[in-house]
Structure 1
């Protein structure tokens, strides 16, 4: 699966493409990160964390991840307990058939391990993760109809369908087998401590020599790491035993049973688990920064990186300077209120404005559809010039620009835009947001009012 940072970054991408309203404006965060140091991946991670300033997205992802890991842990515990109880039931008699117990311990396990190895070498186990994906499907683990929960669930389901999940599934399968074998090992050690067993073997077809050879072959690897192996006399003496064997012989068989479980059961499974973990790490999902969404952000951050020797930066578009007429005017604010009284007076600095009396009609704030209808109806019947005040930090998105175009289409004597800063402060002309407004106004050939010159007095009708 993706790392937690990559998951959060990808969740932000999914939600932003669905027009989700975040705790912090993504455009502001993107602009602030433009001059910060770091690789594109680091800055994308930083951007996602800052957009999720209230931690809501991270909490939803953490809840899903925690429940998936909880199910896997619970299954491992259940498998360990089942292995313990299974072997505990198997070793109830005082005289135990050694090879029968060994086949019960390692027979099915060995078949499954060899089968997994064959399927892995044949590369035919890709479709075996369907049951696992259904078992831990996030749609069953977390309930929620909000867009954040739904997007997080879809993100996890996409990860479960990734090709690298075959190694994650194999790793989990080996983990369950290791839990089972560990439970068996604990049961054997516990029972051998609290009870005294005798071990025997019996066969209709195999002779004593055949069983001696089989035991020596079976005990070769355990004997290499220090486990005892019964000698030839002990093997022959253990055939068809119904009463207690000498304690020394019983201990040799018990040592070989524990050694066989470790060497032929737990160790191969552990090696397979490590191999799958390494392969999963190698095939692990990575954030695809080649997606258009990420490329657009990265290109924006790299826009100011130039070569001083042979690169000539293209001049940024500049809006034409507005010509404020001496006739009747209508002033209005777009979506946001102004912190300044009579904000429009800074723009009424026309050369002959001192000699020509102007009437200024204050329309107020234009925000919703009803305000737009009332404004366009007024403009259709009154030949006035419109001075539109826009807060300099307002976002020039499609909805705002659509309103701007509609007002410009109905203003018979033209439209001029005046960008407004905070109270007692000027507009910050160095911000990327101000340049975005310059570009939008230049594209539409809408004039921008210069609000630095002193303004004449005006008559206001409210």
Structure 2
């Protein structure tokens, strides 16, 4: 069967698939577990336990499990008592036929053990516990029509039908046989303590030598662990005995009887029980986390959450710094006039003694046609002054692109602020643009995209 943690996790899955209302919201538990450490299976176990915060689901599962185990214990006790009573009834006479009692003790047991071994190898890997599932169905053990009880019963029935349950069934059957043999062993010891027996044997076909050989062979294994075995004289002396044997001879037979029950009955069954227990542990049903239900939860936990502190804002585009060439300069105002006649000297882009030709204001199509004609005929570097009121709209940027295309020695831009009262020696700045961060950044972005240099202000 599944482990208790796996059972609870599977029960939560079955109930959640049927829209059951839990004590704690599964979505909240799933979200809180996202940042916790642990393997996916450990976190699924933790999730199921937190969803079952009132312990109702675990209580129902525990009740079914306890009742199944109690039935198994009760059956073991009944088998032990039946073995005790059966042997107690068998050993009522004072003179006991040793081989008859031995066959009654171990004959049917040995046949059943050999049959189990044959079925185990023949039926290897096949399911053989369906009848057991119907015999101990949890629906017989717990009453309840609520969805939790019904889901828990269904979960247990699925486990009982698992192929690995054949080993669980084998383990349980060996447990019952061990209980029976233990009851017989207790009965023999009790009767040998409180009563004095004589042991005999009789046979029509077997001679004394044959019985001596059979007894010595039978006693080889018990003798290895310290049990006494009757010698040849004791064996011959015990044939057709109707009265009490010497106490030493009776003790030899009693020791062989107890040793045979232990070594040929209890020990082989105990080995078979251990084998089934190991195989059941190996073939035990396990939580299948590859199911879509679990994969969806695990996928959510594996998503990387980016905190606000981890967010890095992309740097705003910055226009390249203007490179002043040695070519003749042509200064042009874009759309708006400037209150300062020599506005181009504010950014120190042009030396005071440098020859400059002032084109004036570039506004309409005629101005653009005249400027392009001039640039095609004269190799100059254009310094374009842009007023704070100008916007980098589509039409304005189109003019910028045309000027950059026709200027043989390139185009540089100077952002102007004509709101202040200036004279010839006053430096113009881009403070208006910097105060209007949106517009200023728009121009920076537009110039950066076109790799047009910007004259830095002082």
Pairwise same-fold verdict (TM > 0.5): yes
Distance 1:31 1:55 in 2: 21
Describe how 1:115-154 pairs up with structure 2 within 5 A. 115-123=115-123, 126-154=126-154
Report the TM-score when normalising by structure 1.
0.66
Structure 2 match to 1:65: 65
Q: In the TM superposition, what is the alpha-carbon distance from 1:131 to its structure 2 partner?
A: 2.7
Question: What SS is found at the alignment partner of 2:304?
Answer: coil
In the alignment, which residue of structure 2 is the partner of 1:28? 28
Which sections of structure 2, spanning at least 5 residues, go unmatched? 313-458
- Describe the superposition over 1:113-171 as per-residue Cα deviations: whole angstroms up to 9, x where unpaired: 00000111112684542332122100000010000000000000000000000000000
2:13 alignment partner in structure 1: 13
Q: What SS does the aligned partner of 1:167 have?
A: helix
Equivalent pair of 1:125/1:166 in contact (CA under 8 Å): no
Q: Secondary structure at the residue paired with 1:2? A: coil
Q: Secondary structure at the match of 1:279?
A: helix
Alignment of structure 1 residues 373-384 onto 2, 5 Å = none
Per-residue CA deviations over 1:147-203 (Å, capped at 9, x if unaligned) read: 000000000000000000000000000000000000000000000000000000000
Alignment length (residue pairs): 308
CA offset digits 1:379-430 (Å, max 9, x no partner): xxxxxxxxxxxxxxxxxxxxxxxxxxxxxxxxxxxxxxxxxxxxxxxxxxxx
Which residue matches 2:291? 291
1:325-340 equivalences in 2 (<5 Å): none
Partner of 2:277: 277
State the Cα deviation string for residues 15-42 of structure 1 (Å, max 9, x = none).
0000000000000000000000000000
Corresponding residue SS for 1:38: coil
Report what 1:262 is aligned to. Answer: 262
Is the 8 Å Cα contact of residues 200 and 241 (structure 1) preserved in structure 2? yes
Measured at CA, do residues 209 and 305 of structure 1 come closer, stay the same or move farther in structure 2, by a change above 3 Å?
farther
How is 1:24-63 mapped onto 2 (pairs within 5 angstroms)? 24-63=24-63
Structure 1, unaligned stretches of length 5 or more? 307-311, 314-462
1:241-297 per-residue CA deviation (whole Å, 9 max, x = no partner) reads 000000000000000000000000000000000000000000001100000000000
What is the CA–CA distance in structure 2 between the aligned matches of 1:268 and 1:72, rounded to whole Å?
Answer: 21
Residues 21, 211 of structure 1: CA spacing in aligned structure 2 closer, same or farther, 3 A cutoff?
A: same
* Alpha-carbon distance in structure 2 between the residues aligned to 1:117 and 1:65: 29
Please state whether the residue corresponding to 1:89 is helix, strand or coil. Answer: helix
Matches within 5 A, 1:185-264: 185-264=185-264
User: Which residue in the other structure is 1:182 paired with?
Assistant: 182
* SS state at 1:219 partner: helix
Aligned to 1:109: 109
CA contact (8 A) 1:119 1:125 kept: no
**Alignment TM-score, normalising by the size of structure 2:** 0.66
Contact 2:2 2:284 in 1 (8 A): yes
How far apart, in 2, do the equivalents of 1:76 and 1:131 lie?
A: 19
Quick one: distance in 2 between partners of 1:286 and 1:59? 21
CA–CA separation in structure 1 for the residues paired with 2:293 and 2:278: 31
* Alpha carbons of structure 1 residues 184 and 125: separation in structure 2 relative to 1, 3 Å: farther
Aligned 8 A contact 2:127 2:163 in 1 = no
State the secondary structure of the residue aligned to 2:60. helix
Partner of 2:169: 169
Alpha-carbon distance between aligned partners in 2 of 1:287 and 1:124, rounded to the nearest angstrom: 23
2:402 aligned residue: none
Question: How well do the aligned residues superpose, as a CA RMSD in angstroms?
Answer: 1.4
- Kept in 2: contact 1:234–1:249 (CA 8 A): yes
